Amino acid sequence: MAVKGVTGGSGAKVTCDQGSASGWVDDAGDLRSLINPAEFWFAQCAKDVPCRQVGGALELVTQRLLVNGTEEKVTYAVYVGQDLSEYSTRLLRMIGLGIRGVDGPVKLRFEDGLYYKGVLHASGAVTGGTERWK
């Protein structure tokens, strides 16, 4: 559930013709961005204009990460494609999808199936993995 009036907007679960998705609603209560990462459909919306699909792709990255002195195998997703609106950027950050070339949070999946907070740096390096993703 999004909250109307929140400065910058808020995240929300969205149900549409294509199924369920994560969305971002602006402070006026208008849908501005939605994504279903599992099926990778992603759209941006403008006020009073139908949503339009965003070009791009999700890359699944698996790599080794040093966490508390131990090398761990982690997997995370990164959006690669066209420039995003501020609302789409907020949405991807909220759900833990990295954006190639931009510093921001990323949800790291460890081999044991648990998720941890990480940071994807503009350089492509990843750090973190000590705090659980909630």
Please report the pLDDT score of residue 5 as a whole number.
72
Q: What is the pLDDT of residues 20-48, one digit of tens each?
A: 899 999 998 899 999 998 888 899 998 87
Q: How far apart are CA 120 and CA 91, in angstroms?
A: 16
CB atoms within 10 A of CB 67: 17
Q: Could you tell me the two tokens for 101?
A: 């070339």
Q: What is the pLDDT of residues 92-122, one digit of tens each?
A: 999 999 999 999 999 999 999 999 999 999 9
Please report the pLDDT score of residue 1 as a whole number.
54
Please report the pLDDT score of residue 2 as a whole number.
61
Expressed in percent and rounded to 5, the helix, strand and coil fractions of the chain are 5, 55, 35
Please report the pLDDT score of residue 19 as a whole number.
80
CA atoms within 13 A on the CB side of 99: 18
Could you give the angle at the alpha carbon of 131 between the alpha carbons of 127 and 10, nearest 5°?
95
Instruction: Measure CA 105 to chain center.
Output: 8
Report the percentage of the chain scoring pLDDT > 70.
97
Q: What is the pLDDT of residues 45-65, one digit of tens each?
A: 988 788 899 989 999 999 999
22, 95 contact by CB (below 8 A): yes
